[in-house]
Amino acid sequence: MLALAAICAVPVLAISSGAPPGRTGAPPGDNCTACHLGSANSGSGSLSIEFSNGSTYTPGQTYKIRVILSDAAAQIWGFELTARQGAENLDKSGNLTIDDSARTHFSPGSAPGEYVTHTSAGTSSTGSGTNSWEVNWTAPAAGAGPVTFFAAGNAGNGNGNPTGDSIYTTSLTIAEGSAGEVTGKSYVLPQLAYGGGWYTALYFSNTTDAELPIRVKFYSKEGASLSVPIVGLGPVSDQTISIPGKGTVILEAPNSGILQEGWAEATLPEGVTGYGIFRQSIQGRADQEAVVPLSEDSRQSANMVWDDTAFTTAIAAVNPKDQAVVVTLTAYAADGTQLGTSTLNLGARARDAFVLRNLPGLAGVTAKRGLVRITVPSGAVSALGLRFGQEAFTSIPVDYP
């Protein structure tokens, strides 16, 4: 025992750098008691693992994992987490990633993606007698079978030596779910903005009694896959979510960091409905929000009523298909006379956003109101209107004839 204490003296004193790899209780079974003397799970506290998708995972999807350590006597906190698969849980499963680098990092000496542990900042309590850490996990490919998360936690007494700490271990096994293609109708949220004062949320509700899957993809302005830091999930670009009967889910892109823009595509089975919310936050004034309807993704024309008499009209136009298109915008005054026309070149799955009167050929809409027709000769176009007036803004519905 004295020899073991001597071997582990350095890791104990270096607790702020995190646990060494292989201390989660996963086979072959080492945990924090390899360095902190005592028996695991003999204290009065507890350790648990929460998985954001319940009891199953979809291959290739990304989920949030939360480790929660509770002990009323603890003064300093630590943890380590890994994911395993295979008959004896000896194989690494999926890939762990980090978006809270202030409180979590990969275990020193381990390969990225396998063991996650605390940083120095992560040893401080986040509540009365509790601490918790969040990690992202991308599930393995289809056929991996059940996956087990193993975690160990150290509720330390802060005396700087390996005695008197309470060590806890736990595990959580989840089953492999279906990776089948989600069927249904595709819809578009033509504008996605987060960071730099903007927040976007997508709400989806299942009006049926049966559990139904939906699929949401995020794209950049240029049409490339866009990784969005969805609250509770982490960075995702293509996510399948199961909604229970009469259930509702929300995907939130937070106001964090610099402004990022793009668009979203949602495949919704019959019986699932949804919409978006934009929120703008500017220091010194109340937040402003607008409800954003989902748009058709298979129409070649759209109509939108605009009013530039005392407001500014903006439009986001998306090409939701894989072939480039030329979009024509034709504006008409309130009396039906044509005010002008303009064109946009949109690449495959690309999006453009602009102030209507700033387009070449459409300066005539200034200080007027009327109708704008948005058309493509082939393929499809989806659009969204926004109206800004001083501190307020709202969405403008688009009609697809």
**Average pLDDT per run of 10 along the chain, which is 401 residues long?**
35 61 88 74 90 84 92 90 93 91 90 91 82 92 90 85 84 83 92 96 95 92 93 85 90 95 96 96 91 93 95 96 97 97 97 96 96 97 92 90 87
Alpha carbons within 13 angstroms on the beta-carbon side of residue 387 total 16
* Alpha-carbon span 238 to 218, nearest angstrom: 7
CATH fourth-level superfamily of 2-176: Reeler domain (2.60.40.4060)
Q: Is 55 exposed, middle or buried (0-12, 13-18, 19+ CB in 10 A)?
A: exposed
The b/e string for 148-186 (b: 16+ C-beta within 10 A; e otherwise) is bbbbbbbbbbeeeebeebbbbbbbbebebbeeeebebeb
What global pTM score does this model have? 0.67
- What is the widest separation between alpha-carbon atoms in the chain? 93
Which CATH architecture best describes the domain 185-295? Sandwich (2.60)
Q: Does domain 299-396 bear CATH number 2.60.130.10? A: no
The residues that bridge with 166 in the sheet, in sequence order, are 155
Q: How far apart, in whole angstroms, are the C-alpha atoms of residue 47 and residue 162?
A: 20
Q: How many CA atoms lie within 13 A of 266 on its CB side?
A: 29
Look at residue 14 in the predicted model and tell me its pLDDT: 38
Instruction: Give the model's pLDDT for residue 110.
Output: 84
Where does the chain hold its CATH 2.60.290.11 domain(s)?
185-295, 299-396
Report the pLDDT value the prediction gives residue 391, as an integer from 0 to 100. 79
How far does CA 185 lie from the centroid of its chain?
Answer: 22
> What pLDDT, on the 0 to 100 scale, is given for residue 357?
96
pLDDT score recorded for residue 301: 96
Cβ-contact 339, 332 below 8 angstroms = yes
* Nearest Cα residue to 201 out of 96, 115, 277: 277
